[in-house]
Each structure stands twice: as C-alpha cells, then as structure tokens.
Amino acid sequence: MTQKPTPPNWWNDAVSWIDDYVQRTGEIEVVRMGDFSAVLRIPTANEVIYFKATFPPFNTEAVLTKLLAEWFPQHLPNLLAVDTERSWLLLPDLGMTLRQITEQDNDLTRWEQMLIQFAHLQQHAVHYVDDLLHVGITDRRLAVLPSLFTEALSRRSLLIIDQDHEDSITSGDYQGMMMFISQLADLRAELAAVGIPETLHHDDFHANNICLAANEYDFIFFDWAESCIAHPFYSLFMTLRYANYVFHADHDTLARLRDVYLASWTQYAPLPRLIEAYKIAAQLAKLCRALTWHQAASALTARNRLDASASATYWLNIFVKNID
C-alpha cells in the first residue's frame, strides 16, 4: 500500500468491505487514484481481484453496472460485490483488453462482432431508459442538447479562453460558439427525424474498456462511469476515433466498421440514410464528450480543474468547427 486517498476513513472502510467478500493473501495495491475513480488490486489465493470506486459526478457507475449485469449478463463482468450507495465494485480480473489483443496482430476484423453485440445491447436497453434515468444516469437526449450546450457556455470559468494553453480558444471563438445554437437546433432536428431510438451511450467506449469473455465469442463491456442516455451512434464515433488514432485504421477499415454497426439499425432506415445520420451524430458526439468533461470540471476546484476544462474546451471547439 503506497498511497491513501481522502477522506481519511475512506481507505479503512473500503478495506473492511473488501475483506467481507474475499480472503486476501497480500497487501492491497493502488492501481489508480484519481479525482473521479480509484482502482485497487487485491491478491487472493486463486486470482487477482479488483476494487473500483467512482466519485461525483460519475458515481452512478456501480448502480448502472449492477443493472446492466442483471439485464445483459453475457456482456458485463461477473460482479463479485456491489455497493450502489458508495459506488463500489468488486470485480474479477477480466483478462486482456481488446486493445491488448489487437496490438498483438493489428486485426480489427474482430471489432465487427463487438460492434454488432454492442448495438444489440443498446437496442435492448431502449426498454430500460426510464429505469436508467430514474437511478440518475445523465440525460443527454437530443431534446435537451440545446439547453445543455447553452448552460456549458454560460459557465465560462470552466473553459480555457485567451490563455497560454494549447487547447485555449480565443474570445472570438467563444462568441462563435455562442452563435452556434441555431445550427445545433437544426442538427438535432435532422438527426431526430431519422427515428433512431435514444438509449444507453458509453461515452468512453474504446478498446481498453472491452474484453473477450471466456467463451471467446461474447464481448464484455465495462467502465461505464461516463455513460448517459443519448443517441446510440455516439458510441460508434468513440470507437472509430480510437481505431483511427491508436491503430491508424485506414479509411476502408473505418468505413467497414461503421457499416457493420449501422447495419444493425436498418429496421429504422436504409443503410445510406443511416450513414448520413451518422455524419450528424459524429458531430453531436463531440458535444456529448465536451459535456462529459464540462461535468468533470464542474466537480473540481479551480485549482484542480485545468485538464478537465481544457478537454471540455477542446471538444466544444471541434464540435462547433466539426473537425477531427
């Protein structure tokens, strides 16, 4: 044990809770201790166990993961214990991530089945949207995006404007954002007209948060802290961006992955129209990501929020300018 979090009794309470469920064979190791989450590694006689805690504003992860594990057990980790009030999870070692697997052979074809499975999960989750909103999952559906965008811009102190920072924007850029509300209304209406039901979106959906199940067929999706109810195609944007930036996937590969995912939604519209809808969703996904970082910045003191504010500003900027 190399580091203890605050408040002072947090660590002791967590260790006591862990010991209620597992028999440790060694010291607890801190894997990560951040502003919004902590991950601890716990050795036991038979396997390594992981403890995860999430903190405001992302402290709905435990209850969301618990519900999803009940509804979609084939695609969620086998939870060893859950404390939804404190947002604590006890998880087995999930093995290699999809990123680690792909790094071995640079084969992104297995991502196709992953995207199909995730699309099916999202489609089934449509039936649970009210339940998810009831337990506090963030609402970023198309109808509320204009007000969320306006609110984010109104809290100027949470953005990086006219500062010596690589992600800073100018006052002129900021004024341009303020004028973008009418275009946002048009984008929202155009995407809504396609008729895709809004559902669970994983706003940190990338290959480091995905594993293969023991059967080597089903994919396991985890790390749901930044999720919300929104347009499902936002999740595809996050995956394709990761494939592009991390694995340097070429245009044809990205287009194939896009079309495989979108083909799961053709009961709502033909594929060509879904491709056009995805172009709009990809831009709005940047706003969604900006709102996640803005939410993070709002939970931090001015002294500690620079990175979150910079990320919020960066995503707002590329949303309005619609650039990558």
Q: What are 264's two structure tokens? A: 């799961």
CATH, domain range 98-321: 3.90.1200
d(Cα 299, Cα 305) in Å, to the nearest integer? 8
- pTM of structure: 0.94
Q: pLDDT tens digits, residue range 45-101?
A: 989 999 999 999 999 999 999 999 999 999 999 999 999 999 999 999 999 999 999
- pLDDT for residue 6 is more than 90: no
Q: Cis omega (within 30 of 0) on the bond before 270?
A: no
Q: Please report which confidence band the pLDDT of residue 16 belongs to, taking 50, 70 and 90 as the band edges.
A: very high
Whether 208 contacts 97, CB under 8 Å: yes
Spatial distance between the Cα atoms of 256 and 253, rounded to a whole number of angstroms: 5
The pair phi, psi for residue 42, each rounded to 5°, is -120, 115
pLDDT digit string, tens, across residues 275-305: 999 999 999 999 999 999 999 999 999 989 9
Tokens representing 184 are 């946002």
Domain ranges within the chain, ordered by starting residue: 8-92, 98-321
The pLDDT confidence band at residue 10, using thresholds 50, 70 and 90, is confident
| Cα distance between residue 296 and residue 97, in whole Å | 25
Sheet with 48-54: strands ordered across: 29-33, 37-43, 48-54, 88-92, 81-83
> What is the average per-residue pLDDT within 150-159?
96
Indicate if the pLDDT at residue 7 is higher than 50: no
Mean pLDDT of the chain, nearest integer: 95
Q: What CATH superfamily is the domain 8-92? A: Phosphorylase Kinase; domain 1 (3.30.200.20)
Q: How confident is the model at residue 245 (pLDDT cuts 50, 70, 90)?
A: very high
What pLDDT band is residue 9 in, cutting at 50, 70 and 90?
A: low
